Amino acid sequence: MRKMMVILMTAVACLAAVAQEELAETLKRIRPNVEADAMLQYYRTNAPDLLEEIEKRRKAYPEAMDAYLGQLADHFQEVDKLRGEDNAMYDRMVRQEKQQCEVRKLSREIQKLAKVPKKEPKNVEEQRLAQLKEARAQLRKLLEEAFDESQQQQLIKINELESEVRDLRRLATERSKNRKYILQERFRTLTGEDWQEEK
C-alpha cells in the first residue's frame, strides 16, 4: 500500500512537472520577454489557485489558453516592474494578489457549502451551515479589507496627482510673471539681437 502511494505521488509529480514545462514553453512562445520561471514562482507563492485555473483551462479551452496565459504574464510584468522601483507599491500589489486568492478560495468554498445534498443527516447539515456562516463572515471581512486597501491606494494616487497639479500651477504662475523676460530671451536666441519695443 505504501509503495503504491509513493508510485502514485511520483506519477503526479511527474505530470505536474510536464505541465509546468509545457506552460513555460507556451509562455516563451507568446511572451518571450517574460521570465517563465519567475512568473510561475510568483503565482505559485501568491496565487496558486490561478495555476490550477491554468491547468483547467488548458484542458477545457485549449484555444483560449494563450490569451489567458498572456493576461497573467502581463499582470506579472506590471507587478514585477514595481519591484525595486516602488517597493511599497510592489508590497501592496502582492498583498492584493494574496487577498484576491483568498477571496476566490472562500467564494468556491461558499458555493460548495451552499449546495444542499439530497439526504443529509441533521448533525452534518448543522455542521455544514455553521461552516457556511463562518466562510461568509470571513469573505465579508476580506472584501472589506480589500476595499479599504484599494480605497487607500486611490487616495494616495489622488494626493500624488494633486501635488503634481500644484507644481504645474506654480510653474505656470512663475512663467506668467516672467513672460517679458522669457520672450526677450527667446528673441535674442533666435535673432542674436536684443528685444526692442517698437515705438
Residue 17: its pLDDT value, please? 55
Whether 148 and 131 share a structural domain? yes
Asked if the structure places residue 198 within a domain, the reply is no
Asked if the structure places residue 199 within a domain, the reply is no
Q: Are 24 and 40 in contact (CB under 8 A)?
A: yes
Whether 111 and 67 share a structural domain? no
Judge whether residue 13 has pLDDT over 50.
no
Task: Kindly state the average pLDDT of the residues 11-37.
Answer: 74
Whether 104 and 53 share a structural domain? no
Whether 16 and 59 share a structural domain? yes
Whether 71 and 92 share a structural domain? no
Whether 52 and 142 share a structural domain? no
Domain total of the chain: 2
Whether 10 and 54 share a structural domain? yes
Residue 18: its pLDDT value, please? 52
pTM over 0.75: no
Task: Kindly state the average pLDDT of the residues 27-53.
Answer: 90
pLDDT digits (tens, 9 = 90+) for 97-139: 999 999 999 999 999 999 888 888 888 888 989 999 999 999 9
pLDDT digits (tens, 9 = 90+) for 139-181: 999 999 999 988 998 999 999 999 999 999 999 999 999 999 9
Asked if the structure places residue 158 within a domain, the reply is yes
Dihedral class, residue 192 (left if φ above 0, else alpha if ψ from -120 to 50, else beta): left
Tell me which of 82, 105, 135 is where a domain ends.
82
Residue 11: its pLDDT value, please? 41
Whether 52 and 138 share a structural domain? no
The more confidently predicted of residues 59 and 85 is 85
pLDDT band at 19 (very low <50, low <70, confident <90, very high): low
Whether 49 and 97 share a structural domain? no
Whether 59 and 21 share a structural domain? yes
Q: Name which of 6-15, 16-25, 104-113, 160-169 the model is least confident about.
A: 6-15
**Residue 1 belongs to domain spanning:** 1-82
Asked if the structure places residue 11 within a domain, the reply is yes
Whether 51 and 94 share a structural domain? no
Q: Are 24 and 66 in contact (CB under 8 A)?
A: no
The more confidently predicted of residues 53 and 74 is 74
Whether 186 and 98 share a structural domain? yes
Asked if the structure places residue 197 within a domain, the reply is no
Asked if the structure places residue 70 within a domain, the reply is yes
